[in-house]
């Protein structure tokens, strides 16, 4: 059995803090803020259409926030374009694929919220 992973972060209000790190966490940007603002980030799930980024989604958790539960951060980009009927169908088909990816991410979130490592 492997020991739980931890990361030490410097906070402005609590000094150096050792934080358990979930297995899905892939990255920590250099952190120099308040403990409440520290966030674990999972792998980004980029969702594209015709080579343009439409959405980014990832597991997140701010363990010291008022709501420390694992969630999914979703960001929509500023994609805009005029499409003909074929292009609109292509976008709809792409969105259907994205919906499946988001459902898989929701299942992973369910697993984390129901006893996974936090």
Q: Could you tell me which residue, 114 or 84, shows the higher pLDDT?
A: 84
What is the DSSP annotation of 59-111? Answer: EEE-TTSSS-S-EEEEEE--------HHHHHHHHHHHHHHHHHHHHHHHHHHH
How large is the average pLDDT for residues 85-109?
96
* All structural domains of the chain with their residue ranges: 36-113
Angle at 110 between CA 1 and CA 75, to 5 degrees: 110
Whole-model pTM: value is: 0.81
Q: Distances in Å between the alpha carbon of 98 and those of 4, 16, 18, 30, 109?
A: 33, 39, 36, 31, 16
């Amino acid at each position: 059995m492997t020991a739980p992973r931890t990361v030490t972060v410097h906070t402005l209000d609590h000094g150096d803090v050792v934080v358990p790190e979930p297995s899905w966490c892939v990255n920590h940007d250099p952190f120099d803020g308040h403990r409440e603002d520290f966030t674990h980030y999972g792998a980004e799930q980029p969702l594209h259409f015709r080579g343009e980024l439409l959405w980014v989604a990832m597991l997140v958790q701010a363990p010291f926030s008022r709501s420390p539960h694992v969630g999914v951060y979703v960001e929509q980009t500023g994609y805009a374009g005029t499409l003909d009927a074929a292009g609109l169908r292509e976008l709809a088909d792409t969105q259907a694929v994205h919906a499946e990816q988001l459902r898989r991410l929701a299942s992973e979130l369910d697993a984390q919220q129901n006893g996974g490592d936090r």
